[in-house]
Structure 1
Amino acid sequence: MTEIKTSQILLPEGDTHGQLFYILHEENEQLTNMPFLLGTIRAEFPDAVIRIAVVALDEDTAWLDAADAEPDAPATAQLAPRLAANIKSLEHDIQAGQHIHGVLSEATAVIGVGPAGSLVLGLTLLEQPIAGRLITFGAKFPAYPLELSLDTTVHLLHADRDMAVPSARAREAHERMAQLQADATIDIAMNSAESFSEVLIGKMFERLKTCVPLRYWRYAAESESDKEEGRTPPTSLH
């Protein structure tokens, strides 16, 4: 099982923990735009808790390429348990953060960069949603879910010239999400080779501030009797 380690926890100035931003990246990856991301989170969401976790994927990444294998390939059966174990490890770490900081899944955004983002997209395979938003930069699905709850909104951000993961994979993923009638967006930075760029980080915050989750329309369509009983949309990252 791939080990996930917390590298940094940034708490808001006040005692209120409104949201949780859980950021996952490769352990040996140097991300020059990380300070920009953290600074913008703090500016836009002053009550948010920020947890940065690292994962070592350089030794064995075969399980992340499960989607590249043919459905009947012998390796597929061997990759599935490994993939499930790593997704479960990530799920437990996110849940631990939610419990410690008292933040619900609806108010949690999980951000994944590069190959670590592919692991984040694997969270869509869980039976129960772990976060209100899953956000990835330059990632691909290790396997596609058969269905995806509207309680999770997926934001795909990708450079059109990304050398590690072709942007065509992001477009394919967005099409797959549309077929599932899932809540997903895609932003492609043209003439760029860097997916984790200031431009796409800016797009991420634009989505967070302006993209109303489809689940809100579901709540709005509920009967008047449900509203009288006090059922309202949960705290979110919108």
Structure 2
Amino acid sequence: MTAGRFHGIERLPAHGPVAQLFVLLHGAGGQPADLLPLVDALRRRYPQAAFLLPEGSVSHDAGAHGRQWFPLEGLSDDNRAARVAAVLPALHALLQDAQARLKVMQPDIALVGFSQGATLALEYAIAHDGGVGRVLAFGGRFATLPERAPEFTTFHLLHGEDDAVIPVAHAHAAYDRLSQLRGDATLDVASTVGHALHPALVERALVRLQTCIPLRTWKRALDSA
């Protein structure tokens, strides 16, 4: 992913205008096609949605065919935040271009990530409050726990209880911090599930998307009352 350029997969509605936009970010060592089963699940519920699956701009350290969003070699708690921040401008440019081209409103955009892609999605929502309406983070973590929570973005954290790559403790810590900051977040943990886009987590994501009313909507309703 390079600022102003899109490399990856795009799926548009068969007919009619675009009503929602999902941007899906693969994990480290992965590729956009890895997320096509998730796209299929989402399209069944959102037939008027557009889907963008960009490709990570960094070659995978292991020399495989997959890509990554930021280098894993030498990654530590001291440099993780800086490496993620370096990628955010290109993601911001991609989202702004897609929003203008497909004529969707920011509340109708969902940023979806798995593993390293989830980290990128989480940090993007902190840096750009309201840039997307929702973040779905599968098996991810914040680079560093946030000091503030977005007002206009809802987080859906989805994690495997037996995740050995990014332990579930990171998801609990993220949810606790967002709750302390009065952010809008949900947490779903699947037992006996590891570091994977497991069908149980995908189903929970669909339930959250279709049933979870954003906290900001409740606040507006209470203010009106």
Report the TM-score, using the length of structure 1 for normalisation.
0.80
Aligned to 1:192: 193
Deviation for aligned residue 1:149: 2.4
**1:1-238 matched pairs, under 5 angstroms:** 3=2, 5-26=6-27, 28-29=29-30, 34-55=35-56, 56=58, 58-59=60-61, 60-61=71-72, 65=76, 68-69=77-78, 81-223=82-224
SS in 2 for 1:121: helix
State the distance in 1 between where 2:132 and 2:36 align: 23
Cα 1:100–1:30 shift into 2, 3 Å: closer
State the distance in 1 between where 2:178 and 2:73 align: 24
8 Å contact from structure 1 (residues 24, 116) kept in 2: yes
Deviations 1:184-208 (A, max 9, x none): 0111110111331111011100100
Q: What amino acid sits opposite 1:159 in the alignment?
A: G
Computed over aligned residues only, the root mean square deviation of the Cα atoms, in angstroms, reads 2.4
Gapped runs of 5+ residues in structure 1?
70-75, 225-238
State the distance in 1 between where 2:211 and 2:75 align: 32
State the distance in 1 between where 2:84 and 2:28 align: 19
- How many residue pairs get aligned? The number is 213
Cα 1:94–1:164 shift into 2, 3 Å: same
Bigger Rg, which one: 1
Q: After alignment, is 157-166 or 51-60 more displaced?
A: 51-60
Aligned to 2:66: none
SS in 2 for 1:50: strand
8 Å contact from structure 1 (residues 125, 144) kept in 2: no
State the distance in 2 between where 1:160 and 1:146 align: 26
State the distance in 2 between where 1:122 and 1:151 align: 14
Cα 1:145–1:194 shift into 2, 3 Å: closer
Deviation for aligned residue 1:81: 4.7
State the distance in 2 between where 1:223 and 1:208 align: 24
Cα 1:100–1:37 shift into 2, 3 Å: same
State the distance in 2 between where 1:130 and 1:57 align: 27
Cα 1:160–1:223 shift into 2, 3 Å: closer
Deviation for aligned residue 1:82: 4.0
Q: What amino acid sits opposite 1:145 in the alignment?
A: P
Cα 1:82–1:191 shift into 2, 3 Å: closer
Gapped runs of 5+ residues in structure 2?
62-70
State the distance in 1 between where 2:200 and 2:34 align: 10
Deviation for aligned residue 1:84: 2.3
SS in 2 for 1:221: helix
**Percent identity for Structure 1 against Structure 2:** 29
Report the TM-score, using the length of structure 2 for normalisation.
0.85
Deviation for aligned residue 1:169: 0.8
